[in-house]
Amino acid sequence: MVTPTMNQRYNISLISVAGGTALQYGDNLRKTDLYHGFPYSFDSVVIQNGVRNVVSETYSVYTQPGNINGVQGLYEIGVNQAGAITHRMFSAGVGQ
C-alpha cells in the first residue's frame, strides 16, 4: 500500500511504502544538509517506484520526481552491485 507522507522538518512531500524491506547503506553517507538529509523512508519508495538508470555493470541510480519546500527536482538513490546505497540526494530543478 502506498500512502502520502509529509516530513515536517523540511516540508518534503513524496510517498512512502508500508511494509518495505530493509536497506543497506554505505559508510560514505554522512551529509546532513537539506538536499542529502531527507527521510530515509523515501529511499525504498524511490527504488521501488522510480526510474532505474544503469550507470555501469555494478552501479545503478534510481530517480523519482518530488519537491522540498516547494522546489521541484529529482530524488536520486545510487545502489552498488552488493545492494548497498552509496548515494542519496535531491537534485533541485532537475527533471522538470
5-53 tens-digit pLDDT: 444 333 333 333 334 446 777 776 878 888 988 888 888 889 889 999 9
The full set of domain ranges for the chain reads 2-92
Q: Which residue has the higher pLDDT, 96 or 65?
A: 65
The three-state DSSP-derived secondary structure of 14-67 is EEEECCCCCCEECCCCCCCCCCCCCCCHHHHHHHHHCEEEEEECCEEEEEEEEE
pTM for this prediction: 0.73
